[in-house]
Structure 1
Amino acid sequence: MVDHKNVNQVVDKGNAPAADTPGYELPLLLFAGFRSLIDRLHTELAAQGHPDLRPAHGFAMQAIGRDGATASEVGRRLGVSKQAAGKTLDRLIALGYCTRTDDPADARRKLIRLTPHGADALTRSAAIFDELRAEWAKTLGTDRLRAMEADLRTVTPPESFRLDAAGWLGG
């Protein structure tokens, strides 16, 4: 069980190494690293013409993919209901990141497709992540960063690369 009184102390330690750290520190550090990357990504995306994008939007656009998807497919990929996916998709449509079109294979279905603006956001995201990774390599050293990535691949199964983080975090 997490000692909530000490969580802030653990998070505030910064880079101080500890011989034996409590188990709950690992997920907090991993999440802090993730949050740092995502926050920096969105700051840079805003500066590059995508000020309205939020982290959930990135997951949704990944779930749509280059070939498009139905709202039900997006919901399944994100681990949320069709209605929750639909709300996010409606917002992305309103912002110009995707559009709703007829499915050429089934006239009863609607496909969500990325617009050029949405594809641009994903392309820019990939480039920004490359820049952020390069910054981490400069800070930590290339060998240490590669070792950390290799270690994370060792302890996480391949199916861990999923898009349902937003649904999973939401409960």
Structure 2
Amino acid sequence: MSPTTLALIVAIVLVLVGLLVAFLGWRRRRSMRTVLRGLSLGLLSAGLWVTGILSLLADAARGIWHWVRDQHLDTRMWTGIGIAAAGVVVFLISSALEPVGRAEGRRRREALLAPQSAQQPVTGAAATAPSGQAAGPGAGLDDPDEDAEITAILKNHGIH
């Protein structure tokens, strides 16, 4: 079978599939989005056939098939196949995750950019320092509550 004939068959099948998707999408959901996607699939495949790009893709598919058939799989090839498979798996996992909307993205960005002091209330000796004393780095070093608080913060950050 010549690449032109194969491209024509593929184009006809894709146009029919696109029209079927459009019809079923309208019939089941009354969704204009599904109708337009089905029509776009049909129009795209017809356009690719008319321009000859579908024939080029058929030639490329045939070339890839010959390459795979004649290839001897060594360690380097298996490594490449494993890397490509990992890429496909990561893509599928990312597609399964729920997308983040604008409001959620804005909330996450604001939470990230907010200063740390605004997120954590001041407690311990720094909060109870008399007005005459500065609650600076050297204030209240002998206070066991502050030492416990500092130790807890360091543990939260992985510093023991």
Do they superpose with TM above 0.5?
no
Give the structure with the larger helix fraction. Answer: 2
Normalised by the length of structure 1, the TM-score is: 0.25
**Whose radius of gyration is greater, 1 or 2?**
2
TM-score (norm 2): 0.26
Question: Which one has more relative contact order, counting CA pairs under 8 Å at least 6 apart?
Answer: 1
